[in-house]
Amino acid sequence: MEIRIGIVNTGRELSFETAASADEVRGQVAAALEQSTAHLDFSDVKGNRYLVPTANLAYIELGTEESRRVGFVA
């Protein structure tokens, strides 16, 4: 699933693919915001880790869990 994260006062968004489901990510974000956690910790399919400050979150866009098809469908 693709995740796009907008950060306040930053011109670019953080975008990466993760193996987690949309419900898992949504739960992680909701729990961090409710508990006033300082950072969110994400990992992508390549093993990279991202720490995002919750105080500067502008938005989080969750993509579809279905992978894109490439080529022609007969």
Tens digits of per-residue pLDDT, 23-70? 999 999 999 999 999 999 999 999 999 999 999 999 999 987 666 667
DSSP conformation class of 14: E
pLDDT at 68: 62
More confident residue, 68 or 14: 14
The answer to whether residues 56 and 6 touch, using CB atoms and an 8 Å cutoff, is: no
Domain ranges of the chain: 2-62
> What's the predicted TM-score (pTM) here?
0.78
pLDDT at 63: 85
Residues 2-62, CATH architecture: Roll (2.30)
pLDDT at 64: 74
Q: Mean pLDDT across the stretch 3-27?
A: 92
